[in-house]
Structure 1
Amino acid sequence: QTLDIQRGATLFNRACAACHDTGGNIIQPGATLFTKDLERNGVDTEEEIYRVTYFGKGRMPGFGEKCTPRGQCTFGPRLQDEEIKLLAEFVKFQADQGWPTVSTD
């Protein structure tokens, strides 16, 4: 199965880019989506990226449909499991590439 970069980018722009624009982190500078920070924070596999996106971690809210406790989860729309899986693949791919610009048109 090939990674759908366009769909991943569109989802990322909708759900993640407000805080993680171009792989950075405007809330917590040490928690970017660049490989060095992902590795240091123990979130450098698709599985870990999925888990953090689903359940949240620290100041990042969880986006999974079954995320609990409520205070750790987004108050915005939740993402479907398949969307989170796509996001995890996209983030890992982008981190491995050094966060190249992806057009979403």
Structure 2
Amino acid sequence: MKNIMIAGVVGLSALCATSVSAEYIDPVMEKKLVRVCEAIKSDSRIRLHVAIKRTGVNARHLAKGLVCNGHDPVTFAALNNANKTGTLMASRLNVDYQELLAKL
């Protein structure tokens, strides 16, 4: 019984000890994503549309997974007073931009 308990503890600790690693991002793709963040900050809907198009990623997926300076794209736009691009990104996520502004 003792051997079974020890084996269980060793097996469980091996599962829990896995390290968390960030996924590798291609430097070219990283540069494209940085341009999307810059476009959000610029408050230009056209510049944002072009930047998203160049990434080759769906705008909805981009809005869900992109992080700009530690914030999601909608919050990042709100913090930088970029209401046009914030509204655009909020519409992609089905989020009420005005309600988000009220919370900030």
Taking CA–CA contacts closer than 8 Å with sequence separation of 6 or more, which of the two structures ends up with the larger relative contact order?
1
TM-score bracket relative to the smaller structure: under 0.3
TM-score by length of 2: 0.27
TM-score by length of 1: 0.27
More helix by share: 2
Which has the larger Rg? 2
